[in-house]
Structure 1
Amino acid sequence: MSADTFPETDRSRTVQRKVVRVLALAQILGGIGTGATMSLGAMLVTDVSGSAAWSGMAMTMGALGAALLAVPLARLAQTRGRRISLSTGAWIAVLGGVVVIIAAGVRSLPLLLLGMVLMGSGSALNLQARFAATDLAAEASRGRDLSRVVWSTTIGAVVGPNLFGPGESLGEIMGMPPFTGGFIIGGIAQLLGAAVYLVGLRPDPLLIATQARDAVGGIQSRTDGTSVGGFRLLRSSPGAKRAVLTLASSHAVMVALMAMTPVHLTGYGASLTMVGLTISLHVVGMFAFSPALGYLTDRFGARLVVLAGQAILLGALVLAMLGSNNDVLVAVSLGLLGLGWSASTLAGSAMVSQAVGSVHRPRLQGVSDSLMNLAGAAGGAAAGPVLAYIGFNGLSAALIALVAVTVIAQIGRR
């Protein structure tokens, strides 16, 4: 037996079922925390800065924070386990919410943006949680276990935005600045999520996997590769390169088009109701079909699901390009965009877990999440100028190049 594997026992199966349930519950809470504050961040930045031109910085700073914190949280997971790493990520997100509220009170844009960076920890831990679902997963069910955790995010993502009203009412009662009440609800949800991680992830799935590997491989397995950095692993593994490229490229495509769709729709007179419906369809596409995609990943392989996801992304971009001034076609294209992203990132995440041995996985996963978030931040930042110069249909056409790069990388693998 390889030191990169461990024997699947009745105990490991029982622990794995518990781990998936705990991660799913914590993801619901984390989704509520993120959903209750995501749109508020853009409005709060606009209010504090006095200019709508700064509104996109809320998402950009959040993505940057997720990228910066992904690797440290992954290193913490490798040394202390998922329980400590995930709960620490939630606490950092809560600290970010506190900084945001203080910044709103003193009307400081730099402090507000710093708070958004810290709140990016919520996104970083959500991404790490999907990898935690694979620590003890059997090879035949890895995609399904991962998908169950991803799917649970749907609940929080739907519930969170509906807490805007109660959050503002709470803020008024507490005498807080406008658009900050939701951060109280988001912080409470993150604290509850941290408690779920701390209490529920006992025993820790990553530590169990490490101990089992050590028992098989002996002292050598405890020392081999522990000092190897994630970027070095990425350079040395063709499979890791393809997986991370898939995740980064797909995320950049999704963020770039999604971020500019509300701007485009309202720019030619679409109602806010239509904008809300379009984004809702997008969120449904991102998360609702995860279990089916997880099954397909296990049944037919991650590579085939990635290629299917890229085909769906291509269809979404073509539809957005040809129907850019039709509300219904844009809404359908955003739904397909979410579905293509879901297929590509779920299967791409499975590829990351398969690319290297278990001793290396946390570091590679951290680098993967970091690069994925950086790509999203870059995509969102670049999308604005591209939209201004060549329009929504031009932006859609330009993003096809990223899809082509991913497809070539997957088809051309050896």
Structure 2
Amino acid sequence: MTAQQPPPAAPPEIDPAGTAALQQRVLRTLFLTQVLGGLAVGIGIAVGALLIEEMTGSATFTGLAQSLFVGGSALVVVPAVRITERFGRRGGLAFGYGCAVVGTLIVAAAIHLGSAVLATAGYFLLGAASFAGLQSRYAAADLAPAARRGSHLSLIVWATTIGSVAGPSLAGVAERVWTGWFGGPAYVGSMVAIGLLCLLTAAVILVFLRPDPLLTAREISGETDAPRRSIADGYRTAKANPAVRTGVVAAALGHFVMVGVMAMTAVHIKHGMADPKEALSVVGVILGLHIGGMYAFAPIIGRLVDKHGARPVLIAGTALLVAACTVSGSSPADDHVRLPIGLVLLGVGWSAMTVGSAALVTGAITPAERPSTQGFSDLIMGLAAMAAGLASGPIVEYASYGILCVSCAVVALLVFPFLLGKLTGPAPTPA
């Protein structure tokens, strides 16, 4: 007769009031870091295309800088997931912003050396700031009630508006201040500003994001002893779970379209101006509006996700992306009215895809599965961004900006077979 096995340990008692108070502190901290990080990302987006075009003289390489900046997560996501598994969100987010600081140093050195190759390599690492900003939306959802998950993560997406809208315009200010004080080549001031902002953001995360929301969610769900997972585990989860798979595809295609169009918009604007030297100011305003579209409507989108579910929001986001490509692609380079409208629609469509997919993925997995699965999703997003940037330059150089927008509209429609299929999977353990 064998001894009876003891029952598994029950998860710790949940204190709803304490969890709610902690979640509010988490949201406040993430809100601040998104403002600071958004400033850094906004500056990087504004100057990237112009910097690489001046260094190479070719639009083919211009999209590369933008794709590397937004797709830099493809480099950092694997170690970031391992760090998050061990140290929680604090470690993973701080690692991302730290990588971006190193990237700014490399780009600044490349500018002084006149090396386009080194500059593009630095931009790849600098793109870790974009990865950290995207991962913050998942940190906001770790302790969120299921009925308000979309609203909480969308609040952090919205917080990026403040920094990102001001970021492109701040690029010009940073350049004037730096050259006025120290002189030297153009764009070094922008790199210094990005580096300082990322450094400050990492410091805020390490000091104030306590207790860690992911580790706390695992304690609540009784998964503190769950085995650590990797990106490969995230792939297996997406393969087995239709909801996760659809969320990953929607996020990746939305990101592809946004980056593909946005990467070449600065060059499109510059080619339509009589005085190319004034391009940075115009690009800053128009891209600022676009980035505002990416983030400003996120709270509304989050509430729609909570009320109606992710599928209708993702369908609406796809329609907005197609409309954005139509408006932007039909806009002359000197049309500073219609082009911004297209870029705002592009931003809102991206926001719907990003918020909807994040809520869909997070709601379909347990806290123990989150870093690996969410990291896999952002890895695919990063690879999609890189592919979009690599394709956008040659398309514009050998065809046109309009053809680029038509191509991106076709890509956006590829998500529909997934959205019309089954979106249910294994029920996750409540956080």
- State whether TM-score is above 0.5: yes
When structure 1 is superposed on structure 2, of 174-183 and 137-146 the one drifting more is 174-183
Residue in 1 that maps onto 2:419: 410
CA–CA distance in structure 1, aligned partners of residues 319 and 52 of structure 2: 36
The answer to whether structure 1 residue 372 and structure 2 residue 367 are counterparts is no
- Please state whether the residue corresponding to 2:141 is helix, strand or coil: coil
Residue in 2 that maps onto 1:31: 38
Alignment of 1:275-354 (within 5 A): 275-322=283-330, 327-354=336-363
Q: Percent identity?
A: 37
Residue in 1 that maps onto 2:245: 241
Alignment of 1:195-206 (within 5 A): 195-206=203-214
Residue in 2 that maps onto 1:152: 159
Report the alpha carbon displacement of residue 10 of structure 1 after superposing the two structures with TM. 0.9
- Please state whether the residue corresponding to 1:145 is helix, strand or coil: helix
Alignment of 1:53-202 (within 5 A): 53-168=60-175, 169-202=177-210
CA–CA distance in structure 2, aligned partners of residues 314 and 43 of structure 1: 26
Instruction: Output the amino acid matched with 1:310.
Output: T
CA–CA distance in structure 2, aligned partners of residues 4 and 371 of structure 1: 33
Q: 1:209 to 1:117 in 2, by over 3 A?
A: same
The answer to whether structure 1 residue 256 and structure 2 residue 264 are counterparts is no
Provide the aligned length of Structure 1 versus Structure 2: 410
Report the alpha carbon displacement of residue 171 of structure 1 after superposing the two structures with TM. 4.4
1:400 corresponds, among 394, 409, 419, to: 409
Q: Answer yes or no: is the 8 Å Cα contact 1:67–1:374 preserved in 2.
A: yes
Structure 2: gaps spanning 5 or more residues: 1-7, 424-431
Instruction: Output the amino acid matched with 1:255.
Output: V
Q: 1:133 to 1:2 in 2, by over 3 A?
A: farther
Instruction: Output the amino acid matched with 1:368.
Output: S
Report the alpha carbon displacement of residue 376 of structure 1 after superposing the two structures with TM. 1.4
When structure 1 is superposed on structure 2, of 388-397 and 175-184 the one drifting more is 388-397
2:394 corresponds, among 343, 368, 385, to: 385
CA–CA distance in structure 1, aligned partners of residues 211 and 235 of structure 2: 29
When structure 1 is superposed on structure 2, of 247-256 and 404-413 the one drifting more is 404-413
CA–CA distance in structure 2, aligned partners of residues 53 and 83 of structure 1: 38
Structure 1: gaps spanning 5 or more residues: none
Report the alpha carbon displacement of residue 100 of structure 1 after superposing the two structures with TM. 1.6
Q: 1:2 to 1:367 in 2, by over 3 A?
A: farther
Report the alpha carbon displacement of residue 112 of structure 1 after superposing the two structures with TM. 2.1
CA–CA distance in structure 2, aligned partners of residues 57 and 225 of structure 1: 32
Report the alpha carbon displacement of residue 34 of structure 1 after superposing the two structures with TM. 2.0
Cα-to-partner distance string for 1:139-162 (whole Å, 9 max, x where unaligned): 011111111111111111122223
Q: Answer yes or no: is the 8 Å Cα contact 1:324–1:393 preserved in 2.
A: no
Residue in 2 that maps onto 1:361: 370
CA–CA distance in structure 2, aligned partners of residues 379 and 266 of structure 1: 20
When structure 1 is superposed on structure 2, of 321-330 and 310-319 the one drifting more is 321-330
Q: Answer yes or no: is the 8 Å Cα contact 2:99–2:128 preserved in 1.
A: yes
TM-score, length-normalised on structure 2?
Answer: 0.87
Q: Answer yes or no: is the 8 Å Cα contact 1:43–1:179 preserved in 2.
A: no
Instruction: Output the amino acid matched with 1:402.
Output: V
Cα-to-partner distance string for 1:14-62 (whole Å, 9 max, x where unaligned): 0001001100101111111222333333333344446565333321222
CA–CA distance in structure 2, aligned partners of residues 10 and 57 of structure 1: 48
Q: 1:269 to 1:33 in 2, by over 3 A?
A: closer
> Please, what is the CA RMSD of the aligned residues?
2.8
CA–CA distance in structure 2, aligned partners of residues 266 and 226 of structure 1: 43
When structure 1 is superposed on structure 2, of 106-115 and 69-78 the one drifting more is 106-115
Residue in 1 that maps onto 2:233: 229
TM-score, length-normalised on structure 1?
Answer: 0.90
Cα-to-partner distance string for 1:181-214 (whole Å, 9 max, x where unaligned): 1222221111111111011111111111112222
Q: 1:386 to 1:15 in 2, by over 3 A?
A: same
